[in-house]
Amino acid sequence: MDFMPLSNKKIRSGYSIAFLLLLISYFLVFFTIQKLLRQTKIVGHTYTVINDLELLKSSVVDAENGVRGYVITKDARFLKPYNNSLRSIPVIYNELRQLTGDNNNQQGRLDTLNILITQKLGFIEKGIRLFQINGFVITDSMKVDREASKNSMDSIRLFIGLMKETEEALMVKRRSEVATFFTSTTIIMISSVIITLITIFYSLVIYNRENKAKQSADRNAQQYRIELENNISTLKQINAQLEELKSMEKLAATGRVARTIAHEVRNPLTNISLAAEQLQEMAVQNSDSSVLLDMVSRNANRINQLVSDLLDATRFVQLNFKDANINQLVDETLEMAKDRIGLNHIKVEKNYTSGVYNVSVDAEKMKLALLNIIVNAIEAMEKDKGLLQVYTKKEEDKCVIEIKDNGKGMDEELLQKIFEPYFTAKLAGNGLGLTNTQNIILNHGGNIKVISKSGRGSSFFITLILL
């Protein structure tokens, strides 16, 4: 049907679009995450700058406070914060130089801040030196630099504050950019997801609709298939019945021909026999004539026997029906062929259906029919390599006997003639054995068929009606 490729194309297109949109969404998510990571680093960078500025201011304040404590207590331990600040301030300053390397304004302010801090530390160092030189006493010269030192510290705080405000302004701007970008990306992602869901829903609707149509078509096809199989089965049964009728008709025609020939042949044959007997009585003194007349008499008797055999093989005989177990019947037939099987070293495999399956047959006649098939099978197989397989099975109200050999088999031409009277492929034999077998089975209302291939053995199937 044409709608199936179209529906598959629609479904594939729908899922392809959905996959593409999801891929775009995932790309946007990845891009957003990378952008956020970069902005996070930038914000972290800003926080680091602000933190370092605070540390720088704290170091200057700690240095100043430490010196004040030293002046008040005259205890050199209070100079430890001052000494630490002298070591940490250059480190912090250099880090700030690196962090603000991309901002010229901040670099300029940092240069000014460095000058102010150097100036402030200079005032502190000068105060310590004067304090120590004057015997740990605060002098007027120390008080002179107090105001300048305070102004220097105020300037340091001012510049640090300006640098912090600049960094905070940058951070606000960057946050705004990230928020705007994130909002736009979120809108795009949500739109993509909505479109993807719509596309998937559309694909599912198309799939369900077309799947229902496909299931309906499959059900119709299944129904047609079942009807076709039923028709084929019916045709096979009719064909089998026709084959049986053809076999019976052929046998009946052969019987009619045989009876006609017997009638036409036996009358003159009887006269020939009587005449030969009389001539033989008259020719007692002539030995040559006696031999010839004896030959005529023997051949006349032989012709008469052949006609009798043909009649027996083709006519519908009177049967003595009795109930018999099919498996037991086959076993008794095999027992009758035991000597032939042993002499040829034939291996026998029996595969019987379990259970009791009885048929109404003339046991002696049926064993004769089966024996003819078994003997033919034995003669068709090579000595010491033969395998005879016998199966029985039930098919509905019928019983099937299969006799299978691994002999030389038959071609199609031989298969068409095996039941014809006087036809044989063997050097010895009158060609009436299988004709008689077919006649017996047909007289029982059964059927016989053969499957064979040249070089691959033969299988005979005998079908009888169960009780």
pLDDT digits (tens, 9 = 90+) for 171-189: 788 777 767 767 777 777 7
User: Looking at the predicted structure, is the pLDDT value of residue 461 above 50?
Assistant: yes
In a domain, 280, yes or no: no
Rounded Cα–Cα distance for residues 46 and 43 (Å): 5
In a domain, 413, yes or no: yes
| Residues 273, 297 contacting (CB under 8 angstroms) | yes
Q: What is the mean pLDDT of residues 127-154?
A: 79
Between residues 188 and 414, the one the model is more confident about = 414
Q: Based on the domain organization, do 46 and 190 belong to the same domain?
A: yes
Q: Based on the domain organization, do 49 and 168 belong to the same domain?
A: yes
Among 8-22, 210-224, 353-367, where is mean pLDDT lowest? 8-22
Query: At which of 164, 190, 212 does a domain end?
Result: 212
Q: Based on the domain organization, do 151 and 14 belong to the same domain?
A: yes
Closest to 243 measured CA to CA, from 443, 452, 446: 446
| CATH code for the domain of 414 | 3.30.565.10
Q: What is the mean pLDDT of the chain?
A: 79
Across 189-337, where does the E strand assignment appear? Answer: 322-325
In a domain, 242, yes or no: no
Q: Is 350 helix (H, G, I), strand (E, B) or coil?
A: strand
Tens digit of pLDDT for each residue in 65-108?
888 888 888 888 888 988 898 899 999 989 988 888 888 888 88
Q: What is the mean pLDDT of residues 125-133?
A: 84
In a domain, 285, yes or no: no
Across 210-327, where does the E strand assignment appear? Answer: 322-325
Q: Based on the domain organization, do 208 and 69 belong to the same domain?
A: yes
User: Looking at the predicted structure, is the pLDDT value of residue 375 above 80?
Assistant: yes
Closest to 432 measured CA to CA, from 262, 267, 308, 300: 308
Query: At which of 165, 181, 212 does a domain end?
Result: 212
In a domain, 146, yes or no: yes
In a domain, 416, yes or no: yes
Rounded to 5 degrees, what angle do the CA atoms 351, 355, 359 make? 90
Residue 386's pLDDT band (cuts 50, 70, 90): very high
Rounded Cα–Cα distance for residues 370 and 272 (Å): 38
Contacts of 106 (CB under 8 A, 6+ apart): 49, 100, 163, 166, 167
Rounded Cα–Cα distance for residues 409 and 99 (Å): 100
User: Looking at the predicted structure, is the pLDDT value of residue 1 above 50?
Assistant: no
Between residues 132 and 300, the one the model is more confident about = 132
Give the per-residue pLDDT at 3. 46
> What proportions of the chain, in percent to the nearest 5, are helix, strand and coil?
75, 10, 15
Q: What is the mean pLDDT of residues 284-294?
A: 61
Rounded to 5 degrees, what angle do the CA atoms 402, 406, 409 make? 90
Q: What is the mean pLDDT of residues 136-155?
A: 78
Residue with token string 């596309």:
199
Give the per-residue pLDDT at 387. 94
- The whole domain housing 338 covers 319-465
Rounded to two decimals, the pTM is 0.43
| Residues 340, 371 contacting (CB under 8 angstroms) | no
Q: What is the mean pLDDT of residues 18-39?
A: 72
Q: What is the mean pLDDT of residues 435-455?
A: 89
Rounded Cα–Cα distance for residues 50 and 96 (Å): 9
In a domain, 290, yes or no: no
User: Looking at the predicted structure, is the pLDDT value of residue 466 above 60?
Assistant: yes
Half-sphere exposure of residue 304: CA atoms within 13 angstroms, side-chain side: 14
Query: At which of 178, 212, 246 does a domain end?
Result: 212
Crossing angle of the two packed helices 287-314 and 433-443, in degrees rounded to 10: 40
Rounded Cα–Cα distance for residues 310 and 255 (Å): 8
| Residues 316, 256 contacting (CB under 8 angstroms) | no
In a domain, 345, yes or no: yes
Q: Based on the domain organization, do 207 and 325 belong to the same domain?
A: no
How many domains does the chain divide into? Answer: 2
